[in-house]
Structure 1
Amino acid sequence: MDSQDSPLHDAARIYLSGMRAEEDPASALQVMESSETDGWEAALILLQDLGDARPQPPEFWALLADAARLIWLREDADWYEWRRSEARNGALRAEICLMRTEEGGRALPIPPGGLIRPMWDIGRRTDEGESSLSIASLWVEGREPLEPGGCAPARLIPLTPGHWLHLAPGDVITMHEMRPPAGTAHIIEVMPPVVPS
């Protein structure tokens, strides 16, 4: 693979183009060197760290996903695609706690990754005063499944972002998969969509 014309170099260019005057370009330049000397996997780690330090546009994460796919890092590619969706739609970080199975919660654990799209009671009401549930994809952070009755950090990407604008850190929302609640989420951070500079 030609590292000079790689998705990693393109992602580093996006990072450099959005830099503020007080930031040091050395880290992005290090990515370009690393992709040539240490390999793409090392460069991916450096770019992810840069992306975590400052919000990046969806295109940045799409390029990292492309690079991960090219070197057969499927789970990493899935994570970068998730981050791309976060940058495009906005997201929430939360501590999610599932109800125990005997309390009417789910019987199976939630695997890490964005595999389910539960409904959430986020405080919206119909004209008749009933709860109006909204959908958000759920990504359980870490490598361990979230067991019924357990808690874990998670990320949510709303299907209809406009419904979620009123939420703030400290708010608690309720997760539903069937009629009884399946769990709760304490909002830690609200991340707006990333608008390229």
Structure 2
Amino acid sequence: MDLQDSPLLKAVRLCAADIRTAAGAGVAEVLEYLERDDWEMALLLLEELGNAHSQPREFWDLLADAARLLGLRKDADWYGWRYSEVRNGAVLAELCLMSPEEGGRTRPIPPGGALRPMWDIGLLTPEGKPLLGIALLWVEGRDPLEPGEWGSVRLLPLTFEHWWHLEPGDVITMHEIRPPVGTARVTEIIPPRTTGS
């Protein structure tokens, strides 16, 4: 990868010079790794900068491009997800899956964005029935979320404006078919960002 054309260098240029990761690393450290051709470490530091300080969606798109060039498919998927969060908004939550004995799933949900379940988010149809919203689901971490267990998830609502009323602490219900298969407690709402912000 040529440094001057590198998506990593382009991503660095989107970062404010004074921002730092939780461990104190900043743009200067990323540039040092790039100059030493340590692309993966530069990518990791850029991700940490993006986690610590809000970045525009172009930043995450550049990280996804870099990860693809480095053959890091799972990382590319994750950065693509983050791009979508900036563009569409997201809901962070703690999801508890019902056990098979309770009528829940029989298989675990793998880490990453593998499902597109429906959610009872507290809205009603004109007939008074629950209006289910659809949101893609990303299980955080490296381990699958097993039936009967709980874990941190990120949701990408397809129609974010239906989810605006939610607040941290609200409980929403996950459906794959009509009976519920889990409940999630909202921990954070990330509104969509406009281009260039």
TM interval, short-chain normalised: over 0.9
TM-score (norm 1): 0.93
Task: Give the letter aligned to residue 167 of structure 2.
Answer: A
Matched with 2:10 is 10
* Cα shift at 1:32: 2.2
Q: Does 1:78 align with 2:81?
A: no
Measure, in 1, the Cα distance between the counterparts of 2:4 and 2:33. Answer: 12
Measure, in 1, the Cα distance between the counterparts of 2:190 and 2:37. Answer: 33
Deviations 1:24-72 (A, max 9, x none): 7x81232122112151100001100100011111110000000000010
Which consecutive segments of 4 or more residues in structure 1 shift more than 3 A? none
**Any conservation in 2 of the 1:89–1:192 contact (CA below 8 Å)?**
yes
Q: Which runs of 5+ in 1 are unaligned?
A: none
Matched with 2:167 is 168
Deviations 1:112-132 (A, max 9, x none): 000100000001101110001
Deviations 1:77-135 (A, max 9, x none): 01000100011111111000000011111111000000100000001101110001000
Measure, in 1, the Cα distance between the counterparts of 2:6 and 2:13. Answer: 11
Matched with 1:111 is 110
Structural mapping, 1:114-133, within 5 Å: 114-133=113-132
Measure, in 2, the Cα distance between the counterparts of 1:36 and 1:178. Answer: 52
* Cα shift at 1:186: 0.3
Measure, in 1, the Cα distance between the counterparts of 2:192 and 2:28. Answer: 26
Measure, in 2, the Cα distance between the counterparts of 1:99 and 1:3. Answer: 49
Task: Give the letter aligned to residue 180 of structure 1.
Answer: P
Q: Which runs of 5+ in 2 are unaligned?
A: none
Measure, in 2, the Cα distance between the counterparts of 1:133 and 1:119. Answer: 6
Measure, in 2, the Cα distance between the counterparts of 1:126 and 1:193. Answer: 25
Task: Give the letter aligned to residue 8 of structure 1.
Answer: L
Matched with 2:52 is 53
Measure, in 1, the Cα distance between the counterparts of 2:156 and 2:54. Answer: 16
Matched with 1:191 is 190
Matched with 1:27 is 26
Task: Give the letter aligned to residue 184 of structure 1.
Answer: T
Structural mapping, 1:139-178, within 5 Å: 139-178=138-177
SS of alignment partner, residue 61 of structure 2? helix
- Call closer, same or farther: CA 1:23–1:49 in 2, change over 3 Å: closer
Task: Give the letter aligned to residue 190 of structure 1.
Answer: I
Measure, in 2, the Cα distance between the counterparts of 1:87 and 1:36. Answer: 29
TM-score (norm 2): 0.93
